[in-house]
Structure 1
Amino acid sequence: MHDLLLRGGSVHDGTGAPAVTADVAVAGDRIVAVGRDLGPARRVVDVDGLAVAPGFVDAHTHSDLVALTGRPEGAKLRQGVTTEVVGNCGVSFAPLDEAAAGHLTGIYGDLTCGLPIGPRTFAGYLAEVEAARPTTNVVALVGHAALRTTANGMAEALAPGALDRMCALLAESLDAGAAGLSSGLVYPPGSHAAPEEMTALAAVAQRYGRIYATHLRDEGDRLPEALDEAIAVAEASGVRLQVSHCKVTGRRNHGRAPDLLARLHAARRAGIDVAGDAYPYTSGATVMVALLPPSATAGGADRLVQLLGDPRERERLRAAADHGQGLWRAADPGGVRLMRHKDPGVCGRTLAEVGADPWTTLCELVAADPGATVLLEAMDLTDVLTILADPLIGIGSDGTPSAGAGHPRNRGCFPELFATVVRTHGALDLPTAVHKATAANADRFGLAGRGRLGAGAVADVCVFDPARVAHPDPLGEPAGFLHVLVAGVPAVEDGRVTGARAGRVLRA
């Protein structure tokens, strides 16, 4: 007697193979059989005409603290996600000492979920999330920003012994079960790190057989050089490399996606284990301070506010930004829209709409709220679709929990994948899109027993209607996702979140 039988669905096993009509039998937290005439079950759900797939694995999120808020969270479950990889872009909330927590609190912005940030070890962080009983499974990377700030503060140059301390903290975190290392080389303090620093840390991850995921130093004018740097780090250390949210930003760079992909494939042919993830949008989102040159934040938030209050310093920073330091050159002031700021009157407006001189406006807004966040309209749709179609690219939302009008990717990445990329543009077929959202990501992060539908796999399952999947309202809920199981427990039934907290911390 099975616990649950999903009967008559169009089963996608996650490998990219064509779907087959079959039943899926679940007992406890495992799939026990896929086929026909599988015998009786305590509960039978008719899924005729619906797609049955492994639960989606979101390869790139910033949901690190969502479970600790105590608030019901269904944004990911409602779009079929059962596993999230957190700790990306160099941002993790452990390991931190008291001083590092103070430095990073203001910079991390919405990523804190409104919670106070304090000192903790990585083992302590994982234990906290586990005790909070998350709604989705959590796979956690160690952020370079946490390592560097704990070992070195916000200074640009490394103090004697700081790199050794970073390597020791990383090893301690990997021992605790971290899935790997991440970096955000466009954000301070990661922007201060030389390639040699990242190579030393990546070598530690490689010794443990773990992954290195990087937000490149530049995704616009200097994208080729930034990608070459990441590949060189992987070549020197032997680490498995994940290029986060692969994209080409800035109007002058539109059309360069084939060059990005060619470099990835050339590295693969040279024996480097490199792949990437991407999301199906032409806009991104980030902290507003990332538009400034990294040197502006070297002294911490208080020093940053002082600098931005000095007209001469603002002009010095403008010159550095105009020469490509920070994200300023990739940003069109008319496409930089305030998402969250202490002044609610500017939220929803662009830099061009708020003030006559966009640079002065930027400086004033950051000085008033160093943790402010913005949406950046910076990519070309053809580039986005070209990148998503490449076999080296999996799906990662880059979703950031936000109390305000945040980027729709947190609630809509996977509906957008199936509704727009598959159904509207035909850039992917349905089995391939499922593969990119499941087995491709599970394999990349070493998640045994997940990402595939087959006997013995963990019963993380998503049932959806490919013809109805949509996310029409950026702040609303997606349509077309009917049932989601997390380890065999119904987390979504008939499109409604059940409140079950069956997620687990998946330690490496």
Structure 2
Amino acid sequence: MTEPRPVPLAMIRLPRSRAVLACLTAVLAGGCASPGGCGGRFGRAPVYDLLVRGGSVVDGTGSPWFRGDVLVCGDRIAAVGEFPDARARDTLDATGMVVAPGFIDMLGQSEYTLLRDGRAVSKVTQGITSEITGEVTSVVPVNENTLRGLNPADRERTRWTDLDGYFRELERSGTAINVGTFVAVGSLREYVMGGAARAPTPAELTRMKGLVSDAMKQGAMGVSAALIYPPASSASREELTALAGVAATYGGGYATHLRSEGDHLLESVDEAISIGERSGAWVQVHHLKAAGNRNWGKVGEALARIERARGRRVDVEADQYPYTASSTGLATVLPDWVNAGGTDSLLARLERPAVRDTLRAYLRARWADWHAGADSTGPGSIRIAGVQDPMLEEYVGRRLSDVARERGVDAEDLLLNLVRQDEGRTSATFFSMSEAGVDEVMRRPWVSVGVDAGATVPRPGSPFRPHPRTFGTFPRILCHYVRERRVLSLEEAVRKFTALPAGRVGLDGRGVLKAGLYADLVVFDPATVCDHATFQEPMQLSTGMRHVVVNGVPVLRNGVLSGALPGRGLRRGRS
């Protein structure tokens, strides 16, 4: 493997284009939609809607940077080059800054949070202009079964019945970023089977396939399956292949949270590859990693298996976040059969002494390896991140082992009590990955980036401690993995943030700075951009993003939110 280029040394100057020709290019591409467009009258030079002046352009293709300006008409890029005489209604100064395409979050969770607060503060301040969601559950299909898991306010917000309806509601309420979605197997099973932990009947599978077809016709990216969470965890390889096959007929893919990221990582990678190979769908492995230090050595083999599959033309890619800890519900530590059937079934089982005895033994056996130093997934590596019951707030931010020691109880009993008292809603952070593994995954050119969190705002005084990836993912890569450690070149990092994910999910008009494409742009300071969120103080905004533009409209100007909400729904092949 070749070493990444130093940050950045080369410079290419593009030939100077005439502004009039640039405008004509944009018109032919469907741009210049704003009042007055960019047309000049009676031979006068055109007036553009936006000029990003004097930056170091990193265009998303992986090519070396060059000095240049970006001209915008309406929601489209009119031209990229050097235009010293160009005039515009609005100008953003990019002197000393990098100008790049807007970043695309391949694993977002903002489908409802944007309806509550469309500003997307934690995303925009990272340079994110688009996100792809729908990993565990999705906004479609919708019926009483799928609505049960929502809080009352979100149930009330759900006025749509199909994907077009969701996008209309999103754009009506206003969003600072663009949003596309997969259709989740978990939601399909809830809709058709009520979350039952069994195989679907032939009639049920046919119905689910029809729902996938409906969503794909309206622009869904494909089918997703988070295979550690019920009810998707009950889906067999054959069921997943059948559903992915429907998505494939529309050019869609199969995205997956692997069935195991620990002891059975390699088997789970093989399953994902098999589903892609048999269905014809492209495959996206979410947050690829090896959890538990006895599994750290499997990262290389997991990557090798994916690359062998790619060598035989199975279209497999992955994404990651740049941290050595994950975050999810505390109840996921328990075996699948305990969580099957949803929260009510989980809580009922935890009331039965025989079940609790079985679970104590299960946890002791699982944690014996941790106590022996053979596995890093144990009570000392689990930190409580958030609770719903106010009586439990004192435990937030603390390790499970420390709380158990303080209370004089076994860690197994503490975990079971927390899950039961908090009705399965406790979230936790799991410190289980290696930095070397993060680096190894990041160096692969087919790995993009996903935050794996919804858009939110800092809440001073809140006891909730989300994963720092919520606020810091993209700037962390630019700061620590590009500028400080040089794991990636700047151009390669930007490509992973932009053109790679755009091409993956079929956003043909986004991901590259090129005339005629949508004007999603970021302007950042390469010398200072950095994350500040930590596991102890995660609600810290990243810094270094100077300007962020979505569909031609600045949503961040000089580091300050503008309040504009120009985001749109993203449809595969039509965005």
User: What is the CA distance between 1:99 and its match in structure 2?
Assistant: 2.7
Q: CA contact under 8 A between 2:241 and 2:276: conserved in structure 1?
A: yes
Partner residue of 1:361 out of 395, 414, 438: 414
Q: CA contact under 8 A between 1:152 and 1:158: conserved in structure 2?
A: no
Partner residue of 2:176 out of 131, 135, 146: 135
- The one-letter code matched in structure 2 to 1:279 is Y
Partner of 1:19: 65
Partner residue of 1:296 out of 329, 338, 350: 338
**1:136-156 residue CA offsets vs partner (Å, 9 max, x unmatched):** 000111111000111112221
Partner residue of 1:46 out of 71, 84, 93: 93
1:448, 1:322 → 2: CA distance? 51
Q: Note if 1:336 corresponds to 2:382.
A: yes
Q: Note if 1:231 corresponds to 2:284.
A: no
- The one-letter code matched in structure 2 to 1:186 is I
**1:184-238 residue CA offsets vs partner (Å, 9 max, x unmatched):** 0111111111100100100011011112110000001100000001111111101
Partner of 2:358, secondary structure, is helix
User: What is the CA distance between 1:391 and its match in structure 2?
Assistant: 0.8
Partner of 2:399: 350
User: What is the CA distance between 1:324 and its match in structure 2?
Assistant: 7.4
**1:12-65 residue CA offsets vs partner (Å, 9 max, x unmatched):** 010111100111111111111111136222333331211000000111111111
Partner of 1:392: 446
Give the 3 Å change call, closer, same or farther, for CA 122–287 of structure 1 in structure 2.
farther
Give the 3 Å change call, closer, same or farther, for CA 119–337 of structure 1 in structure 2.
farther
1:83, 1:278 → 2: CA distance? 16
Q: CA contact under 8 A between 1:255 and 1:380: conserved in structure 2?
A: no
1:316, 1:79 → 2: CA distance? 45
Q: Note if 1:61 corresponds to 2:108.
A: yes
Partner of 1:345, secondary structure, is helix
Partner residue of 1:121 out of 152, 158, 161: 161
Partner of 2:503: 443
1:159, 1:247 → 2: CA distance? 30
1:28-47 matched pairs, under 5 angstroms? 28-37=74-83, 39-47=86-94
1:142, 1:175 → 2: CA distance? 12
Q: CA contact under 8 A between 1:338 and 1:349: conserved in structure 2?
A: yes
1:155-234 matched pairs, under 5 angstroms? 155-160=196-201, 161-234=203-276
2:240, 2:381 → 1: CA distance? 32
Give the 3 Å change call, closer, same or farther, for CA 466–115 of structure 1 in structure 2.
same
Q: CA contact under 8 A between 1:6 and 1:46: conserved in structure 2?
A: yes
2:568, 2:551 → 1: CA distance? 9
2:82, 2:147 → 1: CA distance? 55
RMSD: 2.0
**1:318-359 residue CA offsets vs partner (Å, 9 max, x unmatched):** 45567879xx97622112111111221221112112223222
- The one-letter code matched in structure 2 to 1:79 is Q
Q: TM-score, normalised by structure 2?
A: 0.83
Give the 3 Å change call, closer, same or farther, for CA 129–237 of structure 1 in structure 2.
same
User: Where in structure 1 are there 5+ consecutive unaligned residues?
Assistant: 106-111
- The one-letter code matched in structure 1 to 2:508 is A
2:248, 2:115 → 1: CA distance? 30
Partner of 1:108: none
Give the 3 Å change call, closer, same or farther, for CA 64–33 of structure 1 in structure 2.
same
1:484, 1:383 → 2: CA distance? 31
Partner of 2:557: 493
Partner residue of 1:265 out of 293, 298, 307: 307
Give the 3 Å change call, closer, same or farther, for CA 319–251 of structure 1 in structure 2.
same
Give the 3 Å change call, closer, same or farther, for CA 45–304 of structure 1 in structure 2.
closer
User: What is the CA distance between 1:365 and its match in structure 2?
Assistant: 0.8
Partner of 2:121, secondary structure, is coil
1:303, 1:365 → 2: CA distance? 16
User: What is the CA distance between 1:461 and its match in structure 2?
Assistant: 0.3
Partner of 1:164, secondary structure, is helix
Partner residue of 1:483 out of 547, 553, 558: 547
Partner of 1:79, secondary structure, is coil
1:365, 1:40 → 2: CA distance? 61
Q: Note if 1:506 corresponds to 2:570.
A: yes
Give the 3 Å change call, closer, same or farther, for CA 59–503 of structure 1 in structure 2.
same
Partner of 1:115, secondary structure, is helix
2:166, 2:309 → 1: CA distance? 35
Q: Using the TM superposition, name which of 90-99 and 37-46 deviates more.
A: 37-46
User: What is the CA distance between 1:265 and its match in structure 2?
Assistant: 0.4
Give the 3 Å change call, closer, same or farther, for CA 401–336 of structure 1 in structure 2.
farther
Q: CA contact under 8 A between 1:96 and 1:147: conserved in structure 2?
A: no
| Identity rate, percent | 40
- The one-letter code matched in structure 1 to 2:90 is R
User: What is the CA distance between 1:175 and its match in structure 2?
Assistant: 1.9
1:286, 1:352 → 2: CA distance? 18
Partner residue of 2:190 out of 140, 144, 149: 149
User: What is the CA distance between 1:362 and its match in structure 2?
Assistant: 1.3
1:322, 1:223 → 2: CA distance? 22
